[in-house]
Amino acid sequence: MATDIMSVARNTIPNASGNGALVFKILNGTNRAYDDTQIYWAVLGMSNNRWNYLDRSGQLHPISMALNDAPGHLSKNGANYANIYTRVSEVDWVNLPKIVSGRMFLSVGSPCFIKTHDNGFAGPDLNNSSDPNRDVYHDFIEFTIDNSGYHGNTTRVDAFGFPIQHRLVNRSGNFDLTFGELENETRDGLFAKFRHEVPEEFKTLAEIQAPYRIVAPIHGSFAPGKKNDKYFDAYSNNKYTTQQILLCNGPLAQEPEIGSALNRHVFRGNTKDVTQYYKSSPANYYAKFWHDHSIGQLAYGFAYDDYNGQASYLEIGDPKALIIRIGWNESVGASGSRIPTGVIALRSNANGKFVCAENAGNSSLIANRDAASSWETFELISLDGNNVALKSRANGKYVCAENAGDGPLIANRSQVSSWETFRLIDRGNGKVALIAVNGKYVCADDFGNSELIANRTSVDSWETFDLTQQ
């Protein structure tokens, strides 16, 4: 079944009923990594001056402390939490009433653990190392639905959990727009690209709470007392602290132009010239990354990222439907089966030759052999998800994308880390592609006459290999 964000035809969308202002639907774009019974949503927001949650029938109910101990409640680490969640498998379209300051929490593999109170709730806390959601894959969108329509966005202000696309359709039939991460971006790919693309100060943001999320700078080494806690100070002439700039709070709370300019490194330039954003450091390269990998280059990377129209913000006066797609990684197999591990060989589609760990593994990999023997075979080792390692049978060493992917592939490592990890992409009919630590595809360059190197952003014959078990 198609699960791309545009797979839902407008003429199949039902009208809202009862008190619904619009309908919404969650699409499972995890490519069989999780089935619909393992994907959860919960909506919390204000209605009639009270915090409410939405049930699967589209009805709002006041939250309370008592809800944490109600029948069917959730429990973790000896504490009880309100069970306000619905599995995607339980309902197709849901009525969504008018609601203010709404959040739709999304999670895969497990619901989130949220403590409800009579006058609010305690959601996931990225700064709390013992938070029950620390080992849960979760994300959210935020929105308000009022008399003037729907107003909402995806957000990376706090963290990235998984790719999300956020599509809004109106009743008049003249508005159908989607924002969020580019749909061809995958979760593993974004982690790898982040580590490769951002400056050194930002790289650890993809490690602190890995594999669950990439956190915003304020939740990492840019927090008070941490290594980069004065990153922006001199750029602002010490008028604002790095933390105030990242959070756009304190004296910047009412200064969206200044706050955004400092994050974008245009504090001393034209604050509305998008072409000059993030050209020099110091800058919020975490936010820049999400713009670079989002539809229309629009993203919410920090609190005032909406200044000058740069946020992934959707609004319309006559909303009909909201469609949210949860992305993950490529399919693990055309029929849902895992790509086989064990001893394998790789034959390049660039020239029909087998990949060889030349010179008993002491030279770079190259596709230059007509048959597969020990130098041309590898042990394919499954890591997590679609990630694998390749151990050469020529020397017993792991294949490495040398120099973070900027150098040729060579079997020279005795253990697996990020440079020795590859994402295996099933292209069907026994064909695969490999993505290295830099987020690029491994290529048999020059029709296979050059060493294998991860330097391509798309897949064609040079980036495709026949995987054969030996």
| Residue 315 and residue 149 in contact, taking contact as beta carbons nearer than 8 Å | yes
Q: Decide: helix, strand or coil at residue 446.
A: helix
Q: Decide: helix, strand or coil at residue 218.
A: helix
Calpha distance 82→352 (Å, rounded) = 58
Do 410 and 378 fall into the same domain?
yes
Average pLDDT over residues 414-422: 89
Q: What is the pLDDT of residues 7-57, one digit of tens each?
A: 999 999 999 999 999 999 999 999 877 889 999 999 999 999 999 999 999
Look at the chain and report how many structural domains it folds into: 3
Do 298 and 346 fall into the same domain?
no
pLDDT at 366: 97
Sole residue written with tokens 């992917």: 405
Could you give the percent of the chain with pLDDT greater than 70? 97
Q: What are phi and psi of 322, to 5 degrees?
A: -120, 125
The residues facing 294 across adjacent strands are: 181
Do 174 and 304 fall into the same domain?
yes
Structure tokens at 156: 């990376």
Q: Does residue 283 sit within a domain?
A: no
Half-sphere exposure of 115 (CA within 13 A, CB side): 9
Q: Does residue 27 sit within a domain?
A: yes
Could you give the percent of the chain with pLDDT greater than 90? 84
Neighbours of 90 (CB within 10 A): 13
pLDDT at 233: 98
- Asked if pLDDT for residue 459 goes beyond 60, the answer is yes
Do 107 and 132 fall into the same domain?
yes
pLDDT at 333: 41
pLDDT at 407: 94
- Asked if pLDDT for residue 272 goes beyond 90, the answer is yes
Q: What is the pLDDT of residues 92-139, one digit of tens each?
A: 999 999 999 999 999 999 999 999 999 999 999 999 999 999 999 999
| Residue 202 and residue 215 in contact, taking contact as beta carbons nearer than 8 Å | no
Q: What is the pLDDT of residues 362-386, one digit of tens each?
A: 999 999 999 999 999 999 887 765 7
- Asked if pLDDT for residue 338 goes beyond 80, the answer is no
Do 172 and 265 fall into the same domain?
no
Average pLDDT over residues 199-208: 96
Cα pseudo-dihedral 360, 364, 365, 369, rounded to 10: -60
Do 267 and 405 fall into the same domain?
no
- DSSP, res 57: T
Q: Does residue 73 sit within a domain?
A: yes
Q: What is the CATH number of the domain that holds 387?
A: 2.80.10.50
12-21, 94-103, 156-165, 431-440: range with lowest mean pLDDT: 431-440
Do 384 and 255 fall into the same domain?
no
Which residues in 303-417 belong to E strands, given as ranges? 313-316, 319-327, 342-348, 354-357, 365-369, 378-382, 387-392, 398-401, 409-413
Q: Does residue 416 sit within a domain?
A: yes
Half-sphere exposure of 281 (CA within 13 A, CB side): 8
Do 83 and 165 fall into the same domain?
yes
Do 463 and 381 fall into the same domain?
yes
Half-sphere exposure of 268 (CA within 13 A, CB side): 9
Average pLDDT over residues 387-395: 91
Calpha distance 346→376 (Å, rounded) = 8
pLDDT at 330: 61
The band of 1, judged by pLDDT with boundaries at 50, 70 and 90, is: low
Whether the ω angle into residue 124 lies within 30 degrees of 0, i.e. cis, is no
Q: Does residue 426 sit within a domain?
A: yes
Do 232 and 113 fall into the same domain?
no
Do 307 and 362 fall into the same domain?
no
Q: Does residue 288 sit within a domain?
A: no
Q: What is the CATH number of the domain that holds 319?
A: 2.60.110.10
Q: Does residue 104 sit within a domain?
A: yes
Calpha distance 127→215 (Å, rounded) = 10
Do 271 and 306 fall into the same domain?
no
pLDDT at 2: 63
Indicate the average pLDDT of the chain. 93
> Which amino acid appears at position 143 of this protein?
F
The domain in which residue 319 lies consists of 10-185+294-327
Calpha distance 434→423 (Å, rounded) = 6
Q: Does residue 2 sit within a domain?
A: no
